[in-house]
Amino acid sequence: MNSTAAGKTASTAITAQAAAIPVLISLSFCHLLNDLIQSLIPALYPLFKEEFGLDFAQIGIITLAFQMTASLLQPTVGFYTDKKPQPFSLAFGMCSTLIGLLLLSVAHNYLAILFAASLVGTGSAIFHPEASRVARMASGGRYGSAQAFFQVGGNLGQALGPLLAAFIVLPRGQGAIAWISLAALVGMSILTRIGLWYRARSRPSQTAAKQARVNTHGLSQGRVLFLISILMLLLFSKNVYSSSLTSFFTFYLIERFNLPIQAAQVQLFIFMASIAVGTLVGGALTDRIGRRPMIWISILGTLPFTLALPYADLFWTGVLTIIIGLLMASAFPAILVFAHELIPGRVGLVSGIFFGLSFGLGGLGAAFMGYIADSHGISYIYMLCSYLPAIGLVAWFLPNLTSRNKEL
């Protein structure tokens, strides 16, 4: 009798896990669409620079506008939805992105570009915390792999954005941006269906909700806050360096190697594609070797390659950026799952803070580096940022939560 019940329970668990796979695939695809639209904005910087006569500082401020909007709103959205889940907020966020895209296609001055970019950032702020929660719900217990699979959709979208800009928008002009709004419409349709799935599972019992918030690692509140600060510092290292590549890499290639715009955009696509692969591999390795070792490898392990990049020729620049993308991207699933374990039961808040911090640091870094590029040249940015992965040494302070949970 007991074996039969156990078999039924196992069968139910397998069925539930299998049923969640379509949700993860749909969610990752919508993340692709969301981040494709986001990455389109930096890819359009050469168009905006020429058409509106912008300098590098103004370009950095565009990045700051849409990334800071996402940064400030995401923790607020996550905190609210932890208490009151909003299944259809995912589709609403994509609607904000749609409006931002349409406005961007008809913007006639710099302020209009900033406003449109802010709406795209708002849509992203609403999307990420709830989408991360749904990915965890659909994970079947493999949290690192689920977060990586969710994240890799975003990375692929970021990789495709420069290609769309190079081969569709840039040859046809600013008005062609409106065609990309079709991607937002598709995303809204899929996210509405995901919202229905989410709504059916977003009302756990009070007992289950309390169990989800139980501290299983035995760390004091002060220690948890210290470790969250360490994770944020690691994220700072990763995202500011990544922002130097996503925002200014095409200008760097054009200036240093005299590449045409389309060829530079293809190089940016290759870098973004390596980030997508690194994220997926990093998530699987995180579940196998643990969060702490993965963070060590992915951030500190990047240092020799970032130090070599400013002195490389065109061929080795391409090779080094692929390696940097593979290694550095693998950190985020490990950092996010580590943070979820430090603060159990607050998936929306933690995801909002870390996705928001990711956008905010990237935006601030882009604005700061824009001023540096105007005064010292674009190549100086990569010499300055090459030391950022050394911050990965602070991963030494992170405990092994898996072994602590087993002891407790």
Q: What's the pLDDT tens digit per position in 121-160? A: 888 888 887 887 888 788 777 777 777 788 778 878 877 8
Cβ atoms of residues 107 and 62 within 8 Å: no
The stretch 45-59 carries a mean pLDDT of 83
Per-residue buried b or exposed e for 310-325, using 16+ beta carbons within 10 Å of the residue's own CB: beeeeeebbebbbbbb
The reported pLDDT for the residue numbered 190 is: 93
351 confidence band (pLDDT: 50, 70, 90): confident
**HSE (side-chain half, CA atoms, 13 Å) at 262:** 7
Q: What gap in Å lies between CA 370 and CA 244, rounded to an integer?
A: 9
Among 118, 97, 109, CA closest to 32: 97
Q: What is the mean pLDDT of residues 334-354?
A: 78
Q: How far apart are CA 327 and CA 306, in angstroms?
A: 11
Which structural domains are found in the chain, ordered by start? 21-203+217-407 (1.20.1250.20)
* Range in 12-21, 55-64, 198-207, 343-352 with the lowest mean pLDDT: 12-21
By CB atoms closer than 10 A (0-12, 13-18, 19+), residue 380 is middle
Say how far apart CA 72 and CA 13 lie, in whole Å.
38
Q: Picking from 58-62, 253-257, 307-311, 353-357, which range would have the lowest pLDDT averaged per residue? A: 353-357
pLDDT band of residue 359 (cuts 50, 70, 90) is low
What is the average per-residue pLDDT within 375-401? 86
Range with lowest mean pLDDT among 27-36, 72-81, 248-257, 384-393: 72-81
Supply the mean pLDDT for the chain.
79
CA distance 171 to 23: 36
Lowest mean pLDDT among 69-83, 87-101, 235-249, 380-394: 69-83
Alpha helices in 84-205 (DSSP H): 89-106, 110-137, 143-164, 170-172, 181-199
pLDDT in tens, 286-305: 777 777 888 888 888 899 99
pLDDT at 251 over 80: yes
Q: What is the mean pLDDT of residues 202-213?
A: 48
User: Which of 5-14, 27-36, 310-319 has the least mean pLDDT?
Assistant: 5-14
pLDDT at 250 over 70: yes
> What integer pLDDT is reported at residue 379 of this predicted model?
87
Q: What is the mean pLDDT of residues 306-318?
A: 92
pLDDT above 50 for 65: yes
- φ and ψ at residue 374, rounded to 5 degrees: -65, -35
pLDDT greater at residue 213 or residue 271: 271
> What's the farthest any 2 CA atoms get from each other in the chain?
77
C-alpha distance from residue 150 to each of 23, 94, 115, 156 (Å):
10, 16, 28, 11
DSSP 312: -
| Torsion-angle region of 388 (φ positive above 0: left; ψ -120 to 50: alpha; else: beta) | alpha
Closest CA to 279 of 161, 135, 156, 187: 156
Contact 321, 272 (CB under 8 A): no
- Which of the four pLDDT bands, split at 50, 70 and 90, describes residue 382? confident
Q: How many CB atoms sit inside 10 A of residue 181's CB? A: 18
Residue 285, pLDDT > 80, answer: no
Q: What is the mean pLDDT of the segment spanning 86-113?
A: 89
- Give the residue-averaged pLDDT of 383-400: 87
- Give 219: exposed, middle or buried? Use CB within 10 Å, 0-12, 13-18, 19+: middle
Higher pLDDT, 48 or 402: 48
Q: How far apart are CA 100 and CA 44, in angstroms?
A: 14
pLDDT at 339 over 90: no
Q: Is the pLDDT higher at 190 or at 331?
A: 190
CA distances from 46 to 60, 90, 159 (A): 12, 31, 17
pLDDT at res. 40: 82
